[in-house]
Amino acid sequence: MTSFYTTGGIRGGKTRMEKFKPRTFNMGFSRAVYEKVGGFNDMFGEDIDLSIRIAKAGFRTTLYRDVLVYHKRRVNFEKFYKQIYNFGVARINLSILHKGSLKIVHIFPALFLLGGIALLILAIFLSPWLLLLPAAYSLLLLFDAWAKTKKIKTALLAVCTSYIQLIGYGWGFFTSFVSKIIFRRKLEDSETLKRIYS
The 10s digit of each residue's pLDDT in 113-166 is: 999 999 999 999 999 999 999 999 999 999 999 999 999 999 999 999 999 999
Distinct helix (H) and strand (E) counts, the chain: 8, 0
pLDDT at 197 over 80: no
Determine the Cα–Cα distance for residues 43 and 158; give it in Å rounded to an integer. 29
pLDDT at 19: 66
Count of structural domains, the chain = 1
pTM score over 0.95: no
Range of the domain at 30: 4-197
Share of the chain above pLDDT 70, in %: 87
